[in-house]
Structure 1
Amino acid sequence: MKTQSPDTLSVRILAFGIAKDILEDNVIWMDLEPGSKVSDLKSALMEAFPAFEKLQYVRFAINESYVTDDEIILPDDEIAIIPPVSGG
């Protein structure tokens, strides 16, 4: 786990599919303010990776459960970005 200061929430993000391509890795770390929500993380991702804005239909999961944009991110949460999948 990455060391955190009291003013920073360092989050580990797992990326799959097209999200992995845009983030150029399957695991990244981002620093957010404590009390940040998933919507804040999305904004930070769009700022750091402008192409992320194209991913309108990705879902976010925290600790293996899908969440809404209002979900507060806590220390030690595992965040996953999951693009839509199709089957045949």
Structure 2
Amino acid sequence: MSEPFNDIRQVEMAIKAAQRMVGQATMSMDEDQLKAATDCLNQAKQQYADALSHATGISDEFFEFSSELIERLDHQLTEAKE
């Protein structure tokens, strides 16, 4: 029973870390920070995908909210790189 909770918690933490890094990178527009933020976001995407594939009894709302957040961060990074 603790396993789904741990997956959710890891996804939440990964997305929060990506949010911070994307925010800092897009404010500074530093190339190295943008790359680090991209890597961090990719890790969050992977953890999200892993949790989604193993999900049982986890609220669809969690995955929907997380997916929207990841999309927004991805868009923010893409805009900053252009």
- TM bucket normalised to smaller: under 0.3
More strand by share: 1
More helix by share: 2
The TM-score normalised by the length of structure 2 is: 0.25
- Choose between structure 1 and 2 for higher RCO, CA contacts under 8 A separated by at least 6 residues: 2
